[in-house]
Amino acid sequence: MTLFEFDSSLRGEFPVIAGADEAGRGPLAGDVYAAAVILPPDCVIDGVNDSKKLSEKKREELYDVIIEKAEAYCVATASIEEIERLNILNAAMLAIKRAIEGLNKSYDIALIDGNKTPNVSGNVRAIVKGDGTSQTIAAASILAKVSRDRYMAELDRQYPEYLFSKHKGYGTKLHYEMIKKYGPSPVHRMSFLKKIH
């Protein structure tokens, strides 16, 4: 079953499907991002898949197509302070909740990537590996990932010594070396750096 066919199989019961996913749960720095998308019922976007399976160039191309074709979309975030206060899973759920509630169109069901759902109204369903199952979730995963990568490029300009554009804040060898050399920046998640100190 293709990603489009999966969504189509639900439309008899739920004509308007919102898909949501987050990006940036793993990194040591920066906000966590989420996106929610509603696509038209007959919309097939070639190449849409789990954002992790696509090249950066392909994601950038698809980002524009998704935004052009979507009936509604919203990108939202939870801040570093919220990540530290709530923990990363709850902060990611908060970002997803904000993205879904930011849609300017009502939905019959919201499909969430993963095994946990945010506290939003209406029908909500968690789908494990949803970004490789549902076209709507996959589209959301691309919007979230591209938006977060662009934000990390902005942080790279603000804090060039950490080379955020290269590792996007993930805990690579290079990133750990930069933290050891320069110490944590204001955009690092201190609870993620415990093993460095």
Domains of the chain: 3-153 (3.30.420.10)
Q: Any idea how long the chain is? A: 197
> Residue 34 — left, alpha, or beta (φ > 0 → left; ψ -120 to 50 → alpha)?
beta
Residue 173: CB partners within 8 Å, gap ≥ 6?
Answer: none
pLDDT in tens, 139-149: 999 999 999 99
What sign does the dihedral 91-63-4-73 (CA atoms) show? positive
* pTM greater than the 0.75 cutoff: yes
Neighbours of 57 (CB within 10 A): 8
CA dihedral 24, 27, 30, 36 (to 10 degrees): 0
For residues 190 and 131, give the distance between their C-alpha atoms in angstroms, rounded to a whole number. Answer: 29
For every one of its 197 residues, what pLDDT tens digit does the chain have, with 9 covering 90 and above? 999 999 999 999 999 999 999 999 999 999 999 999 999 999 999 999 988 899 999 999 999 999 999 999 999 999 999 999 999 999 999 999 999 999 999 999 999 999 999 999 999 999 999 999 999 999 999 999 999 999 999 999 999 999 999 999 999 999 999 999 999 999 999 999 987 65
pLDDT at 196: 66
CA-angle at 61, arms to 56 and 64, nearest 5°: 125
